[in-house]
Amino acid sequence: MIAHREESESARHWFRGIVQSIVEDKESFRLPDVAREALKLAGKDKARYRQFAEEIVYQAAYGMVQGIIGETRKPRGLHVIGEAAFTEEGAVKAFAPKFLRWAIHAGDKTLALGKATSEELRASADEYEGSGKQLLIRARFLRQIDKGLEGGQIVEERYSEEELGTLWEQAEEEQGATT
């Protein structure tokens, strides 16, 4: 007898219940006979039977794709993300950075490079150049501080605010001379 199952139960679990009802009281059986009887009983519930077939086909196809890719495209294999599967080459194409989608900053807005106007590109480039100069000054400043430290010593043990201010000005002057 087939027990009534909840709707949320997977069809695979539902079909397992059918097989269990066939074999649970028997000491011996032939597997082809169990399969035939299970299919016959399952066929009485067309919707669940179709759901079971879809689950089995999905799992079988997934396993077959993995096997085929593994056999034919070694050593790269298959990359699976959710329900999507990619070969190594396909993953590179699907996830490679795309220039048109790059986010750029122009004034108070962020937009995709592909959507930027000439004016926005110039504003963005100016911002990046300014940021780059400031980062180079900061790097030069930190290297100057480091030169005055001994291993394990911390900055405030060696430098005062005034000395750091002088080093910052030197870094700005040196960076200005190189640009």
pLDDT digits (tens, 9 = 90+) for 60-110: 887 787 777 767 765 566 666 666 777 767 776 766 656 777 788 888 888
Of 54, 70, 94, the last residue of a domain is 94
Note the pLDDT of residue 73. 64
Examine residue 6 and state whether it is found in any structural domain, yes or no.
no
Which amino acid appears at position 51 of this protein?
Q
Note the pLDDT of residue 179. 58
C-alpha 135/C-alpha 116 separation (Å) is: 25
Of 94, 122, 144, the last residue of a domain is 94
C-alpha 59/C-alpha 54 separation (Å) is: 9
Range of lowest pLDDT (58-62, 161-165, 175-179): 175-179
Indicate if 113 and 39 belong to the same structural domain: no
pLDDT of residue 6 exceeding 50, the answer is no
Indicate if 24 and 81 belong to the same structural domain: yes
Range of lowest pLDDT (27-36, 60-69, 131-140): 60-69
C-alpha 39/C-alpha 18 separation (Å) is: 9
Q: Which residue has the tokens 């200005």?
A: 176
Give, for 6, the enclosing helix (H) or strand (E).
none
Widest distance between CA atoms in the chain: 93
Which CA distances in Å does 152 have to 143, 146, 156, 158, 163? 15, 11, 12, 11, 20
pTM for the whole structure: 0.40
What domain range includes position 89? 11-94
Strand-pair category, 78-81 with 84-87: antiparallel
Indicate if 151 and 84 belong to the same structural domain: no
pLDDT > 90: percent of the chain: 29
Indicate if 88 and 121 belong to the same structural domain: no
List of residues 6+ apart from 34 with CB closer than 8 A: 19, 22, 23
Examine residue 16 and state whether it is found in any structural domain, yes or no.
yes
Indicate if 116 and 82 belong to the same structural domain: no
Indicate if 89 and 121 belong to the same structural domain: no
Instruction: Give the number of domains in the chain.
Output: 2
Tell which wins on pLDDT, 120 or 64: 120
Which amino acid appears at position 45 of this protein?
D
Q: Which residue has the tokens 């027990």?
A: 3
Average pLDDT over residues 160-168: 93
C-alpha 132/C-alpha 136 separation (Å) is: 6
Which CA distances in Å does 38 have to 57, 58, 59, 108, 171? 17, 20, 19, 66, 81
Examine residue 2 and state whether it is found in any structural domain, yes or no.
no
Indicate if 116 and 85 belong to the same structural domain: no
Note the pLDDT of residue 75. 55
Examine residue 61 and state whether it is found in any structural domain, yes or no.
yes
pLDDT of residue 7 exceeding 60, the answer is no
pLDDT digits (tens, 9 = 90+) for 39-55: 999 999 999 988 888 88
CB distance 41 to 23 below 8 Å: no
Examine residue 113 and state whether it is found in any structural domain, yes or no.
yes
Range of lowest pLDDT (4-8, 20-24, 90-94): 4-8
Indicate if 53 and 117 belong to the same structural domain: no
Q: Which residue has the tokens 């070694």?
A: 74
Strand-pair category, 84-87 with 103-106: unpaired
Indicate if 15 and 90 belong to the same structural domain: yes
Q: For the chain, what is the mean pLDDT?
A: 82
